[in-house]
Amino acid sequence: MYRVKVEGYFSSAHNLRAYKGKCETLHGHNWKVEVTVAGKALDKTGMVMDFTVLKAHLAKVTEDLDHRYLNSIAYFKKANPTSEYIARYIYGRLKPRIRGIESVTVWESQNSSATYQRV
């Protein structure tokens, strides 16, 4: 199995509902997003997927999140905008575009991340 990964970034604000603590108030993060694509075979150029193409797909999704209040996005009106749900949201937006997407990891700080992956 081959795996390739790319990273992207966006900045946004959110607040967590039904949470007692600092994160219940409005705050922001500079998010790092890591996308992993896997495949058993390589294409004719010897790639699972071209990094440039993968980065472009990720950039299109993160562009819609950048400098936004996440709670105002339709998906996050029902799903609490936790790192876990943000990873799932990005995965869901990428899945129709990318064959072999395996996981999305969202970092809200240098030492805190959440991953959503296919089962």
Active site residues: 23, 67, 108
Which candidate, 102, 110, 108, 91, places its Cα nearest to that of 29? 108
Radius of gyration of the chain (CA): 15
Instruction: Give the 3-state secondary structure of residue 24.
Output: helix
